[in-house]
Amino acid sequence: MKTVKISALVLAMAGVFATSANAQSANANPWEGFYAEAAVGWGQFNPTISSASLYSNRAGRSSPVTTQQDNLSSGINKVGLGYTFGLTDKYTLGLAASYSLGASSPANGSFYATDFRSGTWFKYQLKDIWSVTLNPGYVIDKDKLAYAKVGITGNTMGINGGTANYQTTNFTGYVLGLGYKQMVTKSIYLLGEVNYANMSSKTATIQTSSGPLSGNVGGSGVDVLVGVGYKF
């Protein structure tokens, strides 16, 4: 009789554990895990240049400089890796890193040294755009995820012109974004994002044939992306 009671108790405990395991499995966040993705889209960057001056090696003094620069509009791409943590069955927190391959299309600009009554054209472009973000998300259902993005970003600006060879300056700033992911198979999903980035202003100097040209350079930009991802 004792053996029968012990067996019944073991079976009851096994049933409780099985029920608990099934409940945990049912409540597990479907978006938790590693993922990789790639996306393409369009972006625009709006540069700012202030307090610019040109030092003339010949004159031995500086002149204020006025600048004019077009906004940069270009097709863009990115590849990314990340991990999504399931905080609850409805909320997630992702850690993501992305990188844009290649360089943007160039945009035009010009500067004019007022004291020396001279100026020239220049072109600039962006490359090596990267970001590291935290992505809090909301699970709409097992196939749909809406999320936000906040983090740091950076890029390299390349400049060349009529009196300057190609030179580069690195910038960093912050990025904010909103996105949506839709599962189309068990592991493959489609995504859409809109992102805003602001680059901290910094003093940048390029060497021209007349002398060094310096100014406070920064800017902001927005991009819209669509892509595909794989959840491991």
Cα–Cα distance measured from residue 107 to residue 129, given in angstroms and rounded to the nearest whole number: 17
**Residue that the structure tokens 């909320």 belong to:** 91
Q: How far is CA 61 from CA 13, 67, 162, 211, in A?
A: 88, 19, 21, 10
Tens digit of each residue's pLDDT (9 = 90 or more) over 130-185: 999 999 999 999 999 999 999 999 999 999 988 888 999 999 999 999 999 999 99
Sequence ranges of the domains in the chain: 1-28, 31-231
pLDDT digits (tens, 9 = 90+) for 72-104: 999 999 999 999 999 999 999 999 999 999 999
User: Domain 31-231 is of which CATH architecture?
Assistant: Beta Barrel (2.40)
Please identify which residue in the block is written with the tokens 């927190």: 93
Strand 61-69 to strand 107-113: parallel, antiparallel, or no bridges (unpaired)? antiparallel
Q: Exposed, middle or buried by CB within 10 Å (0-12, 13-18, 19+), for 48?
A: middle
pLDDT of residue 96: 98
Residue 164: predicted pLDDT = 86
More confident residue, 50 or 27: 50
This prediction has a pTM of 0.84
